Structure 1
Amino acid sequence: MDNRIDAIYGRQSIDKKDSISIESQFEFCRYELKGGEAKEYKDKGYSGKNIERPDFQRLLRDIRAGLIRRVIVYKLDRISRSIVDFAKLMELFKQYNVEFVSCTEKFDTSTPMGRAMLNICIVFAQLERESIQMRVQDAFYSRCAKGYYMRGRAPYGFDTEPIVMDGIKTKRLVENAEMDYAELMYEMYAEPENSYGDITRYFTENEIMVYGKTLKRGFVGQLLRNPVYVQADMDIYEYFKAQGAKIESPPELFTGEFSCYLYQGREGEENILVIAPHKGRIPSSLWLAVQHKLSQNTTFQNGRKCHNTWLAGKIKCGCCGYALASLNAPNGVTYMRCKQRLENKSCQGPGTLTKHDLEKSVYEEMVKKMREFQTLKGSNKAEGYNPKLTAARAKLAKIEGEIEKLIDTLTGANPLLLQYANSRIEELDAERQKQLKLVADLTANSVSSSQVDSITGYLSHWEDVSFDDKRRVLDTLVSKVEATRTELAIEWKI
C-alpha cells in the first residue's frame, strides 16, 4: 500500500490585478484531489526563474525522503520557467516515482505524449519569460536614452531629488558638500607627480573620510573615470564619439551647461551617452586630461620611479621607442641609456646622451614653442585651438562625407560599380576608424591656453623652479620626447 501523500504547490511573485493568488491556485488544485488530503507548499514573492525558493526546497526534501506521491500545481510555470531546471525536476520526479499534475494544462507524465507536450509547454514558458526580460530591457534603454536617472545609489558628491521629465517621474543628481572632495581628486591626479596612492595618503593624513571609511585606490580610479562629473561640451561629445559610444543627445546640447550619463550597452552593442539634467563640476579640459593620464598610467608610474631627471616618463629612445634610463657614471656625469639596449642589446641605442644636454635641449625647445604659442595667441587663434585636432576633425568629416556619397551611388548601381563602391567604402571605413582614434587621443591630450598661461612664468626662471614644477610644465606642453645622438623629436600638446 502506498502511504505517500499528495502535495500542492503554489507560487506568486508579486501582487497585481492580473495575477492569480496562491489561495486561488490552491482552490483549482483541490479539484484534482477529489476530496482527498494534501500537504500544501507555497512561496510568495519569489520569481520562477530558478528553484531557490524556501517552500519549494522543502517540497524537494520531502520528495527525496519518499513522502510525496503526486505534485499538483495550478500551472507548470508555478514550478519553474527554466527548461534546464524543469528537465532536472522531471528526472527527480521519475527517480522517486512522483506524478506531476498541472490543473490547467492537464498533463499525464506517465505517457510519452504527455511528456512531449510537457516539454513543449516548458519551451513556451521560457520563451515568455525571455520576452518579458527583453521588454524590460527595451524599457530600460528607452529611459536611458531620454536621460532618466537609472542607477541606484547616487555617485559620490551627489544626492538625488525627484523631478518630472516629459511627464515621467524620475530623479536628478544634485551636488552635496562631498563634491569638493571629488573635485580635489581630479585636481590632484591631474598633477604629473601624483598617483592614486598620493591621493589616498592625503585624504588619510587629513582625516577625510569617504562614506565613513578611509579612501581606497580602487574607489579613486572608478570616480575619475565616471563622466557624471564632467561639464559635457563638444570636446566630450567628440571624445565619446571616437570611443564608439552611441550618443543619443544631439550635438547642440553639448554646451557644457549640463553633465552626462554613460550607460553600458547590451551585449554586443555600444555604450550609450546622453546629456543628464544635472550640472557638471569638472571642466572638460581637466576631465580629459585625467582620462589621458589614466590611459597612460603605466608610463606615469614608471616615470615616478626615477627622480633623477624631470624628463622621466617622457623621454624615449629615438631608435626603438623604449624609455631612456638615467645612469650615474663614476666621473659624476649622468648618462641616458636605452632600456632595451641595457636589457638585451637588441637596440643599437641613441648614442651617448647626457642628462644635462637633454634637459637643456628640451628646455630650449619649450621656450621656442612658448614664443610661437604666445604669437599665435596674440592673433586670437590660440584659445581652444589645437591645429592637429582641427586637421584631424576636418579629415574625418571629409572621409565620412565621401562614404555617404558612395552609399548614395549604390541605389540602382550595376554589379561592377557596386563591387568598386563596396571595396572603396571598406577602405574608407578603415581610415575612418584610424582617424576616430586620432581625434580621441588629441581630444584627451589637448591643452587650453589658460593651462599654458598657468606655467608661462616658470620658463623665465627655470633654474629656481622645483623638480615637481618642472615635471608639471613638461607634462602640460609635451606628450613625448624621442632622442638620438643627432636628433630631438618632440610631440607637443599645443
Structure 2
Amino acid sequence: MVAPQTDSTRIPVVIYARKSTDAKLEQKINSISVQCASARSYIESQQHAGWYALDEELMDNNISGATMERPGIKRLKQLILEDKVRIVIVNRLDRISRSLSQFLELMTFFEAHGVSLVSVTQNINTSTPMGRLMIQIIMGFSEFERELICERVTERMHAARKNGQFLGGRPVLGYNIKPEGRALEIDELEAIRVREIFSMYIKQRSVKTVALELRNRGWKNKRWITREGKVTGGSDFTVSTLHNLLKNLIYIGKVTLKDEIFEGQHEGIVNSDIFDRANTILSGNDLTKGNRNRNSHDALLKGLLTCKACGTAFVHTGTKKKSGKG
C-alpha cells in the first residue's frame, strides 16, 4: 500500500515558457501553448513522485533569450525567494537563456535555494550530477549557435550596406521609407526645407543661431508613425539634432556602416559641394570650441574670416610666453 502524500512530500513545480522575437530561431513546436502543454503532461507523469503544478505559469512572449531582463524570469526569482518552488520545468534549456554565462548564473541562484531545473524534451534534471554536466554541454552548443546566427546577421547587414541598401530604422527629415520597406524615397516638401537648412547654415555659420531660427519658423524634426501606429519625432531642433543633420551623409546619397561609407541606392537631396562647404565650416567651428576662453574678447572675428581660395573658416589659437602670460 502506498502511503498518502503530505504537504511535506509534495513538490511544487512551476512552468516557464518563452518564445523568441527571431522567427528564424522559432518553430511552431516552440509556441507558448505547446511548451506549456508539454510541461503539464510531464508534471502529470511525475505525480507519483509528489510533483504538482502551480496554478501560475510563467511566460515571456516575443522576448530574446539573450537577455535575462524578462518579466517571467523576474517573477520566477520572486517565487523562488518566497520558497514557493522546488522545480522549474521548461520545454528546452534555451527557453531559459541562450547565453551560457547568464544561464550558469541563474543555475547558481537555483542551487542556492534548493531548486532544480528540468528540461522535458532533453530529459535533463539538474538534481543529478549527470544532469548538471549535460546542461553545461548543451548550453555551450546553444550559445555557439546564437553567436553563429549573430555573425551571419552582421555579414548580411554589411553586404546590404555595401550594396547601398537602407537597413531600416528611423527615417530622417527629407525622406520617407517606401511602403515595401528597406528603401528610401524623397519627401519633396521636406527636401526643400533640408536644402534651406544647409543654405542657412552656410550663411550664418552658427548651429545655435540656425537652430533658434528654425524654432522661430516652427520647423520641426522628422515626424513619423511606427508600424504599431505610434506617432514619434516632430520635436524642435536643438544644437545636437541640427549638428547631426548637417553631418548626415545620407543627404548626399551615401550610407554608412560603422566607419565605412558606401554609395546608397537612394537619391541625394543636397549637392555634394553644398554639403562639403557646410561641413568644412562645421569642422572649423568644432576646432575652436576649446579655445573660447583663451582671451577676454572670445575671438571677435570667429566665423567672419574665411580663406578666399577654399572657403575654409579661419580659426584662432592662443600662445603662451615663457613668463606664463598670454
TM-score of the superposed pair, with normalisation by structure 1: 0.52
- Equivalences for 1:373-388 in 2 at 5 Å? none
* Rounded Cα–Cα distance in structure 2 between residues aligned with 1:342 and 1:210: 50
The AA in structure 1 aligned to 2:120 is C
- State which of 228, 236, 256 in structure 2 corresponds to 1:214: 236
* Kept after mapping to 2: 8 A contact 1:63/1:96: yes
Report the equivalent of 2:198.
Answer: 186
**In structure 2, what is the equivalent of residue 125 of structure 1?**
142
Please list the CA deviations of residues 190-219 of structure 1 after superposition, one character each: whole Å capped at 9, or x if unmatched. 23x521112122223334333543321111
Equivalent residues of 1:313, 1:323 under 8 A apart: no
CA distance in 2: counterparts of 1:343 and 1:4, whole angstroms: 83
- 3-state SS of 1:150 partner: coil
Indicate how the Cα distance of structure 1 residues 33 and 289 shifts in structure 2: closer, same or farther if over 3 A, else same. same
Q: Which runs of 4+ in 1 moved over 6 A?
A: 308-311
CA distance in 1, matches of 2:77, 2:301: 70
Q: 1:300 to 1:53 in 2, by over 3 A?
A: closer
Given that 2:221 and 2:236 are in contact with CA atoms closer than 8 Å, whether structure 1 keeps it comes out as: yes
Counterpart of 1:261 in structure 2 is: 255
Q: Which residue of 1 aligns with 2:311?
A: none
Question: 1 or 2, which has the higher helix percentage?
Answer: 1
Superposed CA deviations along residues 385-419 of structure 1, whole A, max 9, x for unmatched, are xxxxxxxxxxxxxxxxxxxxxxxxxxxxxxxxxxx
In 1, Cα distance between equivalents of 2:303 and 2:88: 77
Q: Note if 1:276 corresponds to 2:264.
A: yes
Q: Distance in 2 between matches of 1:34 and 1:119?
A: 26
SS at match of 1:209: coil
What secondary structure sits across from 1:67 in the alignment? coil
SS of the residue corresponding to residue 220 of structure 2 reads coil
8 A contact 1:41–1:59 mirrored in 2: yes
Alpha-carbon spacing, 1:226–1:4, altered in 2? closer, same or farther (3 Å): same
State the distance in 2 between where 1:170 and 1:312 align: 43
Q: Tell me if the contact between 2:164 and 2:263 (Cα under 8 Å) persists in the aligned partners.
A: yes
Q: 1:76 Cα shift?
A: 0.8
**1:343 to 1:206, Cα distance in 2 relative to 1, 3 A:** farther
Percent pairwise identity: 27
Identify the residue that residue 13 of structure 1 maps to in structure 2.
Answer: 20
The structure whose Rg is larger is 1
Contact 1:306 1:312 in 2 (8 A): no
Deviations 1:452-478 (A, max 9, x none): xxxxxxxxxxxxxxxxxxxxxxxxxxx
Aligned counterpart in structure 1 of residue 206 of structure 2, from 177, 195, 214 = 195
3-state SS, counterpart of residue 152 of structure 1 = coil
Q: Give the 3 Å change call, closer, same or farther, for CA 197–26 of structure 1 in structure 2.
A: closer
Change in CA separation of 1:135 and 1:87 when aligned onto 2, cut-off 3 Å: same
Tell me by how many angstroms 1:153 deviates: 2.0
Give the counterpart letter for 2:32 in structure 1: I
Amino acid at match of 2:260: I
1:340-395 CA-partner distances (Å, limit 9, x unpaired): 3498369xxxxxxxxxxxxxxxxxxxxxxxxxxxxxxxxxxxxxxxxxxxxxxxxx
Distance (whole Å) between structure 1 residues aligned to residue 98 and residue 194 of structure 2: 45
Question: Is the contact between residue 174 and residue 269 of structure 2 (CA under 8 Å) also seen in structure 1?
Answer: no
Question: Match for residue 446 of structure 1?
Answer: none
Number of residue pairs aligned between Structure 1 and Structure 2: 286
